[in-house]
Each structure stands twice: as C-alpha cells, then as structure tokens.
Amino acid sequence: MLRFGTAGLRGPLQDGPDGMNVTTVTRATAGLVEWLRGRCLGGGAVVVGRDARHGSAEFATATAEIFAAAGFPVTLLPGPLPTPVVAYAVRELGAVAGVQITASHNPATDNGYKVYLDGGSQLLAPADTEIEKCIDAVTEPVARTPVTPADDDIVQRYLNRVSSLPSVLGGAGARAAIRIALTPLHGVGGQLVVQALAAAGFTDVHVVEEQFEPDPDFPTVAFPNPEEPGATDLLLALAVRVGADVAIAVDPDADRCAVGIPLPDNTWRMLRGDETGVLLGDCVLRTAPPDALVATTIVSSRLLSKLAPARGARYAETLTGFKWLARAGDGLVYAYEEAIGHCVDPAAVRDKDGISAAVLTADLVARLKAAGRTLTDQLDDYALEFGLHSTDQVSLRLDSAAAAADGVARLRANPPDQIAGEPVKYTDQLQVRGRMRTDALVFEGSGARVVIRPSGTEPKLKCYLEVVTPVAAPAELPAARTTAGQHLSALRDYCRGL
C-alpha cells in the first residue's frame, strides 16, 4: 500500500492499493476523519484543494464529500489552485486540517494527497503512522455527501496578502520598473503569479505561452521541475528575447520558485536554491524584529548560518522538508530549502510558497536596479563578507526508493575517509539522537561538505555539495570561482561513481 511519506501520499496513477486512485483516496480520507475524531477535532473546518493533474478533480471531490458526510464543514476550493493557497486557507480559516491533491513536480503519471494540520503546517510524525493505522482499519463502505465549491473569497484574501509583501518586507526605498519573464511549467500557478505581481506593481510580465495554461501531460518538459536540465530552456530564451531583468519559474503546484539572471556576456543562468535562499533571507531580515529566527536544512548551504548573526538574527537548522522548517522555532520570519522552496511569510503560509517568493524576488530586483545594482552584485557582496559558498547537487535516478535507501546503506557500511583527495569527517545522521535523526550521511572536510541521502518523494539518491573559498578582495572573485568549480567537479565525479 502507498504509505504516508513527505506530508502525505504520493504515487503512480494506477489501480490497486499501491497506486493513486479513488479507492486509495477514499480510504485515506476515511482514516484521516477517524484520526481527527480521536483527537476531539470532529466537526472542525476542513479545506480541500487540487491541482490540474490527471485525477485531481475526482480525488478532490471524493475527499470533500467524505469529510462532509462525516460532519466536517468543508471549504472545497474553486477549481485547480496552487498548493500554498491551501496552506494559507487552513491557517486563515482556523481549519483543523487541509488536503491538497497534487504531486507537485513529479512526472505526469503521478498524483498525491498532501495533508496539512491545524495552523497550516504539513503533517508530521507520529501523526503519519497514526493515520496509517486508521486507514488500515477502514472496512465499511464510506459515505459521501455532495459539496458545492466555495467562491474565490479566500483566494482573493491570499492574493491581497502576497501582493502586500513588498511594502511589508521590502521596506521603504526606490524601486525601478523591471521586466519579468515567467513560466508556470504547465501548472496551476500562472494566473495567480501574474495577478500577484500586478497587484504588487509589476505589470511588465512576459509569459512562456507554450507552458502557461495547465496541462497535466507537461508536453514541453521531460520532468516538470525547474531544477531539471532543460526545464527552463524556454523561459531563458524568452528572457533573452524580451530583454528581461529577471526570469521566474514556479513548479506545477507553485510552491517552489526558481530564479534566472542575466550575465555580463548577455547569457542567462538559473540561480541555485541556496543563492535565492540567502538573497530572500537577507531581504526579509532588513525589516525583521530584533532576534528574529531564520532557518534552513542540513543539506543546504552554510551561508545563511553566517549571515543571520551578522544581521542580528538567530539561525536554526532542521531536517529536509517544510514539515520541519515550519516548526523551526519561535520568532520564525524566513525559511528555505535548497530545492528552491522559500517561506518568506510564515505568519500567513507555514510552507514553501513560490508565489510570494516570486513577488519578493521581483521587488528585490527592482530595488537593486534603482540603485544601479543586480542580484549578481549582491551575491558578490556575500562572497566578500562571508567567503564564496559554491553549491551543487547530484541526483542519481534509480529504479525504486528502496534502491536509493540501499545505496546509502552500502555507503554507511563502508564510509570513505577522503573524498576527491580531501580528508573528511563522517557523521551518520541515523546515529544522532532527537529530531535531527534521519537516513543521511554527512562528510565534511576543511573546505568542502557532502551530504548523501535517499529522496523522500522520488526514487533518487541525492548528493548535496558545498565548497567554501575565502575571498579577500573583488579582484580575487574570478580565481576563487575557478578554484571552487574545479573542487565541485571533483566532488560531482565522486558522487556519480556511487
């Protein structure tokens, strides 16, 4: 049977208990109903949303109708909408739970069932295994009561909140007019991102027409993930063609945001999630209260851990996933994970949100342009202040999740004492006590760090690489980048040979 992993169920669209289908969704919802009742939350409000994948409309309807038949007031969102809207609605409406039918950036053959609990945070252990037990106990036919979809009031409230972020987080200061190239990668975020940008004052937006309307087959990309090679080719071609100041891609359910920037030679590149992460984190901290908290994960760059104290903020580190990051601690004002997930407004959305990240990115580019500067200039400043932090990732796609876990187990049984010629210290996160215990291996040398773990959502073995190179003056940056690139290349070769 499909089991609860990262915040819920995710798997291929197929018949049987190992696939996403109406029977699986029905049993999952009935189990969730009983789990909520067992915690005296029966009859509490529930939010149900969906993306535009194959099966999503049918799965969302079944979910809403089962909750309604069980006596829960249900807000069934009107049509296919981004995942962050559900996270927002659960928190805004004081719901006891929310379900979004989505497989995020997985292939077109997949779908999923993502669960939010009260406060709008993702499902977290041990609730996942407790709900599984309730699902296993479902034996009777499950009743359903028709549900009328809600109007767009909660969507408009979400848009109002997102569009206000530049004035709240960006602070006072001049802003230049900018041109934006945008793609939602055939997902459900296109219209909402354009509307949010326009409401925030960014109306010069050019979209990748071939990828703008929702299409569950994702015909122009091999994998609908902005991080995958080739996924943003059409976006960057559009950026060059229209002379954009910044390129923005959101993934199919719009909870992730990737950013592309122009280079001095008129070419473009996509920023890594760690680069966007520190840029937005610094932006939020400019207007944050004293002793605010920012957070990232064990697989992300160490740069935020250096920037935070320099800006008078606290720093926390969690396991991968926003089910952990959203619970990083009191006073949280910003969190990110290197997989292009950014939470810039945790008071409203306790999860990654590609739409709010896109709006804040546009505002940052506009403020820098007014000062005659770019995102590249800002990143160079960080290199001079904290050292050049260069990151990369190697993802080895395998036949199954079990194969990825086996790969980590083999490495655990025979860990190297050096990687790419550099001596390393080894930490097995399975031997760590408390909330930081997970199936991951961390190797650290004097100037490099490698984290290896199985993916929580896909059949992949993932390797996260970071090289830190001291830089004393601007003139040293080109040589530092060359040195860092060579070091990263050696680390990539090692990981590809695993």
299 and 352 Cβ atoms separated by less than 8 Å:
no
Identify the DSSP state of 5. Answer: -
Among residues 56, 104, 356, 455, the one annotated as catalytic is 104
387 and 469 Cβ atoms separated by less than 8 Å:
yes
Strand ranges of the sheet holding 246-250, from the earlier edge strand across to the other edge = 205-207, 180-183, 246-250, 257-262, 268-270
300 among known catalytic residues? no
To 5 degrees, how large is the angle CA 306–CA 337–CA 188? 145
Three-state secondary structure call for residue 181: strand
- Strand-pair partners of 416: none
User: Cα dihedral sign for 136, 137, 142, 148?
Assistant: negative
Concatenated DSSP letters for 272-288? PHHHHHHHHHHHHHTSS
**CA 491/CA 465 separation, integer angstroms:** 7
Greatest extent of the chain over all pairs of C-alpha atoms, in Å: 72
454 Cβ neighbours under 8 A, 6+ residues apart? 401, 404, 405, 407, 408, 439, 460, 461, 462
Kindly list the catalytic residues: 104
